[in-house]
């Protein structure tokens, strides 16, 4: 099998970085050079980088009922009056990993805060970069065993202006909504695709 990556972290040279904005997220301007496939080094490249850090998402799955717990909330990044799609998105339970937290602990905490459910088993599914051309964010997806019969109502922290509605869907229904483009955010799409490939294994382990 051929080597897939040609270079390592050491093959980028940071010239300088400037903090442009420091708010809910940070925005940096970074100048760097990097090794070229043809040999030698590139000219200096300038990029703006949105620094978000890390996040955890939970594929909240009830293997007995073959159901998925998802949450609905408004997302300003999905607001575009020229589109027919709603800016209220069906998503996986998710949250940012704060200083001193682990991705696993965030997955458990957010399941309580966003959906009011307990996760009895937590299993790492995959970790991915989110839009690394201009965003620094590592997303950790976990499969979590839940009792979907206990998932209902409205949730979220008032201190964070969260207004979250819980939905329980059959695994197949959730997958069909994704196929139809009605679930169209990247984390949910990745999570539901992963579940479709692995649900039988989860049922065997968790039941």
Query: How much is the mean pLDDT over the chain?
Result: 95
Catalytic residue among 17, 67, 160, 172: 160
Whole-number Å distance between alpha carbons of 113 and 132 = 28
Number of CB atoms found within 10 A of residue 200's CB: 10
Q: Is 160 a catalytic site residue?
A: yes
Confidence (pTM): 0.91
The two tokens of residue 58 are 């939970």
Q: What is the DSSP letter of 204?
A: H
* Cα three-residue angle 35-38-40, rounded to 5 degrees: 45
Whole-number Å distance between alpha carbons of 138 and 170 = 28
**How would DSSP label each residue in 173-190?**
HHHHHHHTTSS--HHHHH
Q: What is the DSSP letter of 111?
A: H
- Exposure letters 52-80 (e unless 16+ CB within 10 A, then b): bebbbbbbbbbbeeebbbbbebeeeeeee
The two tokens of residue 81 are 């009056």
Q: What is the DSSP letter of 35?
A: B
Q: Which residue has the tokens 């972290």?
A: 9
Quick: pLDDT tens for 74-102. 999 999 999 988 999 999 999 999 989 99
Each of the 207 residues of the chain gets a pLDDT tens digit; together they read 566 789 999 999 999 999 999 998 999 999 999 999 999 999 999 999 999 999 999 999 999 999 999 999 999 999 999 998 899 999 999 999 998 999 999 999 999 999 999 999 999 999 999 999 999 999 999 999 999 999 998 987 777 777 899 999 999 999 999 999 999 999 999 999 999 999 999 999 999
**Nearest partner of 92 among 46, 135, 64, 55, judged by Cα:** 55
The two tokens of residue 96 are 């940012």
Contact criterion met (CB below 8 Å) for 92 and 55: no
The two tokens of residue 135 are 């965003």
Q: Would you give the end-to-end CA distance of the chain in angstroms? A: 37
């Amino acid at each position: 099998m051929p080597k897939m990556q040609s270079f390592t972290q050491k093959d980028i040279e940071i010239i300088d970085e400037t903090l442009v904005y420091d708010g809910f997220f940070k925005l940096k301007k970074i100048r760097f050079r990097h090794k070229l496939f043809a040999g030698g080094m590139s000219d200096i490249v300038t990029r703006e980088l949105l620094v978000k850090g890390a996040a955890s998402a939970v594929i909240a799955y009830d293997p007995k009922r073959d159901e998925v717990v998802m949450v609905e909330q408004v997302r300003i990044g999905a607001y575009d009056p020229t589109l027919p799609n709603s800016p209220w998105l069906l998503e996986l339970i998710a949250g940012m990993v704060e200083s001193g937290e682990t991705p696993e602990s965030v997955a458990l905490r957010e399941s309580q805060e966003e959906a009011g459910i307990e996760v009895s088993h937590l299993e790492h599914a995959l970790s991915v970069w989110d839009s690394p051309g201009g965003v620094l964010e590592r997303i950790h997806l976990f499969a979590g065993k839940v009792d979907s019969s206990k998932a209902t109502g409205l949730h979220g922290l008032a201190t964070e202006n969260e207004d979250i509605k819980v939905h329980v869907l059959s695994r197949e229904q959730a997958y069909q909504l994704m196929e139809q483009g009605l679930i169209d955010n990247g984390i949910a799409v990745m999570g539901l695709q992963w579940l479709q490939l692995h649900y039988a294994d989860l049922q065997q382990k968790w039941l």
